[in-house]
Amino acid sequence: MGEARQKAIKHQRIRDGEFPCVYCGGVVPGEEPDHMPPRILFRRKQRPNDLVFPSCSGCNRGSAAIDTIIAWLGRSYPDSLDKSEREEVKAISSSMITNYPEVASAFHIDPEPLPLSQAQMKTLRGMTTPVNVNDPYIHRCIDFFGAKFGLGMHWKLTGNCVPPEGRVYPQWFTNYHAVAGALPSDLFRVFPNPLPLVQGRLHTAGRFEHGSVRDGEYSSHLAIFGESFIVLAFVAPNGPELCFAESGALECEPGCLKAGYPYGLPRLSADELRQRFSRP
């Protein structure tokens, strides 16, 4: 049986409710196939048919916003030379402003210069002014995506859903952290060979790579989104872990995705959004 046929059968098994939802503790059937990362991250939504997880409708709908936001962030830098891809990114940006204006208005030029050497600045490929991502809406959405990623990848790695009492602790870093040497020092020792998704000639190298490791009942997961940002997720299936909580990482539990956008933060008023969009 061919690879494509095998995956099609798995998708149907998911739709038939044979697997639990991996995002809300395995307590309800997962009847909708969920692509990790989302198809919208890729040109013409073409990606290998891998990392597809069973999701209930509540988790799938609740995480639709972060899927779009992650795709927007992952495709916005560096600029594509392909006209059709630029048009796709433009359409995503328009959707962001309409549907998720708190996040779309979060980016503005920081008046303070980047504390980088000229050599470091060159590695940013023309990005001569810093984009401010120190915003609670950006942080919350990427954190919740990290939680979703960790919940799915833990199931992929261990065959078990993170139970309701389990916790996920996401962290993330931008290309600025990479250039400034501010990534965790042992990151690529723990994840030495991140892998792209591959299906025949179709692959995600340069756009998305991932890695997972297991330490007893715990698991850790890495996602690299091209030259834009990195997401880490640490999974503690037996309950809260003090060491992670003390690190400042957001503590997320199974089922958190059902909250939907903006994931526990308040929606902003029209006047508040107008002020944010009017910043330099």
Peptide bond preceding 37 in cis form (omega within 30 of 0): yes
Highest mean pLDDT among 75-84, 89-98, 102-111: 89-98
| Mean pLDDT computed over every residue of the chain | 89
Q: Report how far apart, in Å, the C-alpha atoms of 215 and of each of 106, 126, 218 are.
A: 37, 40, 5
The mean per-residue pLDDT over the stretch 174-192 comes to 86
Above 90 in pLDDT, residue 10?
no
Q: How many helices (H) and strands (E) does the chain have?
A: 11, 9
Give the 3-state secondary structure of residue 167: strand
Lowest mean pLDDT across 49-53, 60-64, 147-151, 250-254: 49-53
Which residues partner with 215 through β-bridges? 218
In this structure, which amino acid lies at residue 233? A
pLDDT at site 129:
46
Task: Please tell me the predicted confidence (pLDDT) of residue 45.
Answer: 93
Closest to 50 measured CA to CA, from 197, 205, 148: 197
Strands (DSSP E) along the chain, which ranges? 32-35, 52-55, 167-174, 195-196, 198-199, 202-203, 209-215, 218-225, 229-236
Measured between alpha carbons, how far is 113 from 121 in angstroms, rounded to an integer? 11
Return the pLDDT at 252.
Answer: 97
| pLDDT the model gives residue 112 | 56
Q: Residue 17: which H helix or E strand, with range?
A: none
Query: Which uninterrupted H or E stretch holds 230?
Result: strand 229-236
- Does pLDDT of 244 surpass 90? no
Which pair of tokens denotes residue 206? 């340069």
Tens digit of pLDDT for each residue in 184-202? 889 999 999 999 999 989 9
The predicted-structure confidence for 125-161, as pLDDT tens digits, reads as follows 544 444 557 899 999 999 999 999 999 999 999 999 9
